[in-house]
Amino acid sequence: MNRSRLTEEFEVGSFGSGGELAVLSGFVHPVRGPVVCPAARLVAGWLGRRGVACRVVEGGSLPAGRGGRLHATTYLDLDGSVTGIAVVAPTAPASLAAAEAVRVWSATLRTRRVIVCAAEPDCGNGAGFPAQRPERFRGSAQCAGAAATAATVRQYLERGDTVLALGAEGGWEGCVPVVDVSGARALQVGDPERLSFVQRPCAPVEEVAGILAVLRARFPMLRGQHPDQWCYRSSDRGRGIRAVVESSDLVLASEGDLPGPRSVTFGGLESLTPELLAPVATLGVIAPLRVGAAGGDATDAVIDVVGGLGPLSVVHHRSVTSVRSDVHARASRGS
* pLDDT digits 0-9 by tens, 278-310: 999 999 999 999 988 778 999 999 999 999 999
Using alpha carbons, select from 55, 116, 146 the residue that is nearest to residue 284: 116
The reply to whether 334 and 237 lie within a common domain is yes
Is there a domain that residue 191 lies in?
yes
189 and 119 inside one domain: no
- Residue with the larger pLDDT of the pair 27 and 231: 27
In a domain, 93, yes or no: yes
Residue 167 counted as domain residue: yes
> Half-sphere exposure of 216 toward its Cβ, with a 13 Å CA cutoff?
8
> Is the domain of 160 the same as that of 288?
no
User: Are 130 and 269 part of one and the same domain?
Assistant: yes
165 pLDDT tier (thresholds 50, 70, 90): very high
Same domain (yes/no): 133, 238: yes
Identify whether residues 61 and 176 lie together within a single domain: no
Nearest Cα to 89, choosing from 53, 59, 61, 64?
53
List b or e across 15-30, with b for residues whose CB sees 16 or more CB atoms inside 10 angstroms: beeeebbbbbbbbebe
Same domain membership, residue 163 and residue 120: no
Q: Are residues 245 and 165 in the same domain?
A: no
Cis omega before residue 288 (within 30°)? yes
Q: Looking at beta carbons, which pairs linking 297-303 to residues 24 or more positions away fall under 8 Å?
A: 297/134, 297/135, 297/136, 298/266, 298/268, 298/269, 299/116, 299/136, 301/269, 302/114, 302/252, 302/266, 302/269, 302/272, 303/114, 303/116
> Domain boundary at 229, 247, 281, which?
229
Same domain, 125 and 274: yes
Residue ranges making up the domain that contains 173: 146-229
Confirm whether 1 is domain-assigned. no
pLDDT tens readout for residues 234-250: 899 999 999 999 999 99
Domain match, 253 and 207 both: no
The residues, ordered by sequence, that sit 6+ positions from 213 with a Cβ below 8 Å of its Cβ are none
Same domain for 132 and 236, yes or no, is yes
Please answer whether residues 203 and 234 qualify as being in contact, where contact means their C-beta atoms are separated by less than 8 angstroms.
Answer: yes
DSSP 106-165: HTT---EEEEEE-PPP---SSTT-B----TTS-S-SB-TTHHHHHHHHHHHHHTT-EEEE
Residue 175 lies in a domain: yes
Check whether residue 61 and residue 116 sit in a common domain: no
- pLDDT, one tens digit per residue, over 64-79 is 888 899 999 999 999 9
